[in-house]
Amino acid sequence: MGQKLAFLGIETSCDETAASIVQEKNDGTGEILSNVVSSQIEEHKAFGGVVPEVAARAHVEKIESIIKKAVKDSKLKIKDIDGIAATAGPGLIVCLTVGFNAGKAIAGVLKKPFVAVNHLEGHALSPKIIQKIKFPYLLLLISGGHTQFLEVGGVNNYKRLGTTIDDALGEAFDKTAKLMGIEFPGGPKVEEWAKKGDENYFKLPKPIFKKGGCNLSFAGLKTAVLRISKELKNEKEKYHLAASFQKTVVDILNEKTKVAMKEFLKNKEKEKNTFVIAGGVAANLKIRENLIKLAKEKNFSPVFPPVNLCSDNAAMIAWAGIERYKMKLVDNLEFPSKARWPLDASAPFLKGPGLKI
């Protein structure tokens, strides 16, 4: 085994088919030797969202060539890789099994260590590829499937401080876009339209804004967008709605992040703390600007992964594999894929009708 570990990462939890090889550097960060991501936007555009069976079929068609390209681009030989890491969950089970089984097969044939990675842990640890970060740190994970505040105490050590009780933030962006007639995936387009609109034009609700700790809710906001979208008179009002929606999201994240920071600082020395923001929605520049400003006000260092590591990718899975392997957290080839797999297994499951906060 080489001095600097190199891992192949594989990711197929939703609609991205991805493979990457990451190698440790002497300073404890990582070097991304290859990072191949094949998106499925065209396949799902007609449906206005991800169709699991369509996504799984695309993964099956692409997975072999994506892995081969990742190995070729890395300039390493597959036999020289120290281990294989693959996303085991959470995600769409028919999609997960494609990449997960491919990873198991490669590990089995090459007799290499295999690490089953939680997709959320991949996001949580992704900034550490680029820069050294000390544990513990506060994490806001905002993606298409997840919106959570977590205290990251170390690898395999997570405490959930708050979560969405209904829609994930990325899902709310995409649904808002769909209601305004924007093609899937609409989240980035909402941000683009918001630049042309008046963010104070529509007053939108902020569910559980001043209660529920740092738990979040976006369903009521989405319902309000649905109602207003039916009454829009012209294109300009669409821009106003996009801007008003984005501002409301920024306000909610601002308020809930303050609560999460306060919770995180309990029983801790008031030294410089780190606030990591990861996941696909972390690429939204308006959200970034707001959270950077807030972090500095509250004496936190704001850290974002590079934009190409915010959305789903396999480099973060390879890196999580390296981090787990160094802690001897290696899995056998019988490990199952999991549609639901919380990072903090002790946290209550909050989603569902009739929930009271």
Phi/psi class of residue 226: alpha, beta or left (left: φ > 0; alpha: ψ in -120 to 50)?
alpha
Asked whether residue 216 is domain-assigned, the answer is: yes
pLDDT at 220: 94
Give the domain range for residue 250. 137-304
Pair 116, 264 in one domain: no
Interatomic CA distance for residues 271 and 47, integer angstroms: 49
Asked whether residue 179 is domain-assigned, the answer is: yes
pLDDT at 325: 98
Pair 93, 144 in one domain: no
Pair 119, 181 in one domain: no
Can you tell me which residue has the tokens 């991949």? 122
**H or E, element range at 60:** helix 52-74
Is residue 218 within 8 Å of residue 169, measured between CB atoms?
Answer: yes
Single out the residue in 304, 337, 352 at which a domain terminates. Answer: 304
Radius of gyration of the chain (CA): 20
Task: Say how many C-beta atoms besides its own lie within 10 A of residue 345's C-beta.
Answer: 8
The DSSP annotation for 193-262 comes to HHTTS-TTSS----TTTTSSTT-B--HHHHHHHHHHHTT--SHHHHHHHHHHHHHHHHHHHHHHHHHHHH
Q: What is the CATH number of the domain that holds 21?
A: 3.30.420.40
Task: Say how many C-beta atoms besides its own lie within 10 A of residue 4's C-beta.
Answer: 13
Whole-prediction pTM: 0.92
Pair 161, 279 in one domain: yes
Beta strands of the chain (E only): which ranges? 6-11, 17-24, 30-38, 83-89, 114-118, 137-142, 147-154, 157-163, 273-278, 300-303
pLDDT at 1: 43
Any alpha helices (H) in 279-330, and if so which ranges? 285-297, 315-326
pLDDT at 3: 63
Pair 52, 35 in one domain: yes
Interatomic CA distance for residues 188 and 49, integer angstroms: 14
Pair 41, 59 in one domain: yes
Q: How is residue 197 written in tokens?
A: 């609109």
Asked whether residue 340 is domain-assigned, the answer is: no
Asked whether residue 89 is domain-assigned, the answer is: yes
Pair 42, 122 in one domain: yes
pLDDT at 353: 37
pLDDT at 49: 60
Pair 22, 143 in one domain: no
> Residues 74, 120, 252, CA angle at the centre, nearest 5°?
125
From first to last of its 357 residues, the chain has per-residue pLDDT tens of 446 999 999 999 988 899 999 999 999 999 999 999 987 555 545 545 666 778 789 889 999 999 999 999 999 999 999 999 999 999 999 999 999 999 999 999 999 999 999 999 999 999 999 999 999 999 999 988 899 999 999 999 999 999 999 999 999 998 899 898 887 678 889 999 999 999 999 999 999 999 999 999 999 999 999 999 999 989 999 999 999 999 999 999 999 999 999 999 997 776 789 999 999 899 999 999 999 999 999 999 999 988 889 888 999 999 999 999 999 999 999 999 999 999 998 988 655 433 333
Asked whether residue 356 is domain-assigned, the answer is: no
